[in-house]
Amino acid sequence: GESVGLHLPTLSVQEGDNSIINCAYSNSASDYFIWYKQESGKGPQFIIDIRSNMDKRQGQRVTVLLNKTVKHLSLQIAATQPGDSAVYFCADLDPQGAQKLVFGQGTRLTINP
Amino acid sequence: DTEVTQTPKHLVMGMTNKKSLKCEQHMGHRAMYWYKQKAKKPPELMFVYSYEKLSINESVPSRFSPECPNSSLLNLHLHALQPEDSALYLCASSSGHYNEQFFGPGTRLTVL
Reported as a single tens digit per residue, the pLDDT across B27-68 is: 999 999 999 999 989 999 999 999 999 999 999 999 999 999
Verify whether the Cβ–Cβ distance B45 to A46 is below 8 Å.
Answer: no
pLDDT at site A30: 87
B60-87 tens-digit pLDDT: 999 999 999 999 999 999 999 999 999 9
| Angstrom distance (rounded) from CA A47 to CA A39 | 12
Give which of A45, A96, A55, A98 is closest to B2, Cα–Cα.
A45
Among the ranges given (A67-71, A85-89, A98-102, B66-70), the one the predictor scored with the smallest mean pLDDT = A98-102
Per-residue pLDDT at A5 exceeds 90: no
Give which of B5, B13, B20 is closest to A43, Cα–Cα.
B5
| Angstrom distance (rounded) from CA B101 to CA B112 | 31
| d(CA B18, nearest CA chain A) in Å | 24
Reduce the DSSP state of residue B102 to 3 states and report it: strand
Q: Residue A36: its chain B contacts at CB < 8 A?
A: 103
| d(CA A45, nearest CA chain B) in Å | 7
